[in-house]
Structure 1
């Protein structure tokens, strides 16, 4: 079975067991390691592997062809994207007319940013530039852009670049809605045996938790030069109960995010019931 997920520690931790043939009855995986912007684009075009990790924000474009798998993704509390600047400014009005780098136009991070900016930034944010997430902090530091929207382990390392956090969009979302933050989703072609894929991913998550040291070499091999401690912090933050099962709170969070975004015209309107089918 063909699958694409990122080289980030949460994904390699979750899929280690299945990728290494440790899940009984599961087919062998042919893994493509891809940035979330690439998988968002592939899924929107109906291209790429049969199973992929994409942004929850990209779901409205793909749900006719792909089913949302209710496990394996990234959703939680205290794990949202950050808006960073070089200057120590806290006022959102700073972003009026400014250049902001984002990791993907269809990323959940960018969707949260748009919802937040619509509330908080007077006038319009200036130019939006899509940039691989590992390039954003150096670009802010070097003055190539005015602000950056960052995800993943950047929340642990932005201080090393001398950057300032203007806002934590996860905190804003949780305070505004009381719900967890939907970040990354696992999807599979509807023509596949979705229930079996769900079972195998859930067993891979269980194996990872029961054998936390087993995946360390695999995780660090793909961890883009981050330290073991940062990789562990990354896993602890993004792999949680919602990774094993979205549950009712998880689905409510996704429905709230995408329902609000559709009302604002940020994503196409779609049948929310497809999220559970």
Structure 2
């Protein structure tokens, strides 16, 4: 049996999609060796060629296309689901002179922030630093950081934690490009060959079908991996980030990927 190295995050949309596959809930023709990590770490692993199949940021695609192929399923793309730019203060406006904390250099969140900044602050240069996505949120809540871009489950708890919304980067992207927000995608090494890659896509779709067929969306596996073990937050997360594009990116999704590639190269 062929062994494949798979990398996914612990976020509910990833664990929802891939649970049946990684937990052996259906017969697979592969032996899956799974790495769970935050998205920036997965991006870096793929840049180094350390994974055979991985869920990565769409923003990293231009830098890996020589070695990896974009799959038509298993990603995170949609409308109304983009990264949010927050202030540590409830009532504040964006300050271009202040540093903005982003969840990883190669993340789509970083790309969308730069896209927004270039369009709205064309004469200025952004001050940027990077941290893991959970560290960005914690830094805002503790007021160690004045501005930052938030992704994943934390986008559902900001009102409770008294942060100030500066702008919805996903909404800005939608208005400018008239395409869905390309957050994450699944890629596979070209060297696996067409037949193996096709089988991988079939198994991802089967895993996703089994997840939707469950009576309850949230399982123990998903709950234990989540940053916020609250079923209502987890279900919101799944319904927001697991969309029709997760099963098949289609023509709209391909359009969004093309825009992303152009923006990435420009940055």
TM-score bracket for this pair, using the shorter chain length: over 0.9
Q: Contact between 2:116 and 2:169, CA under 8 Å: does it hold in 1?
A: yes
1:53 aligns with 2:55: yes
1:188 aligns with 2:191: no
1:241 aligns with 2:251: no
Deviation at 1:8, TM superposition (A): 0.5
- Which segments of 5 or more consecutive residues in structure 2 lack a partner in the other structure? none
* Structure 1 range deviating more: 124-133 or 80-89: 124-133
CA distance in 1, matches of 2:200, 2:234: 26
Q: Contact between 2:62 and 2:264, CA under 8 Å: does it hold in 1?
A: no
CA distance in 1, matches of 2:123, 2:142: 26
1:9 aligns with 2:12: yes
CA distance in 2, matches of 1:25, 1:228: 29
- Secondary structure of the 1:83 match is strand
The residue aligned with 2:102 is 102
Q: Contact between 1:115 and 1:261, CA under 8 Å: does it hold in 2?
A: no
The residue aligned with 1:131 is 131
CA distance 1:58–1:106, change in 2 (3 Å): same
1:69-127 per-residue CA deviation (whole Å, 9 max, x = no partner) reads 11001000010000000234564xx3312111111111001101101000112543553
1:179-224 per-residue CA deviation (whole Å, 9 max, x = no partner) reads 1000011111111111111111011111111125376111001012
CA distance in 1, matches of 2:257, 2:170: 14
The residue aligned with 1:173 is 173
* Structure 1 range deviating more: 112-121 or 17-26: 17-26
Q: Contact between 2:153 and 2:228, CA under 8 Å: does it hold in 1?
A: no
User: Matches of residues 102-121 of structure 1 in structure 2 within 5 Å?
Assistant: 102-121=102-121
- Which segments of 5 or more consecutive residues in structure 1 lack a partner in the other structure? 267-277
CA distance in 2, matches of 1:140, 1:124: 23
1:23 aligns with 2:30: no
CA distance in 1, matches of 2:122, 2:112: 17
Deviation at 1:174, TM superposition (A): 1.0
CA distance in 1, matches of 2:95, 2:124: 8
In the alignment of these two chains, the number of paired residues is: 261
CA distance in 1, matches of 2:127, 2:107: 17
CA distance in 1, matches of 2:140, 2:65: 35
CA distance in 2, matches of 1:214, 1:136: 28
Q: Could you tell me the TM-score, scaled by structure 2's length?
A: 0.92
Deviation at 1:256, TM superposition (A): 1.5
The residue aligned with 2:154 is 154
Deviation at 1:154, TM superposition (A): 1.6
The residue aligned with 2:82 is 80
CA distance in 2, matches of 1:62, 1:71: 18
Deviation at 1:238, TM superposition (A): 0.4
The residue aligned with 1:163 is 163
CA distance in 1, matches of 2:261, 2:126: 24
Q: Could you tell me the TM-score, scaled by structure 1's length?
A: 0.89
1:37 aligns with 2:40: yes
Q: Contact between 1:208 and 1:215, CA under 8 Å: does it hold in 2?
A: no
Q: Contact between 1:7 and 1:223, CA under 8 Å: does it hold in 2?
A: yes
CA distance in 1, matches of 2:215, 2:45: 32
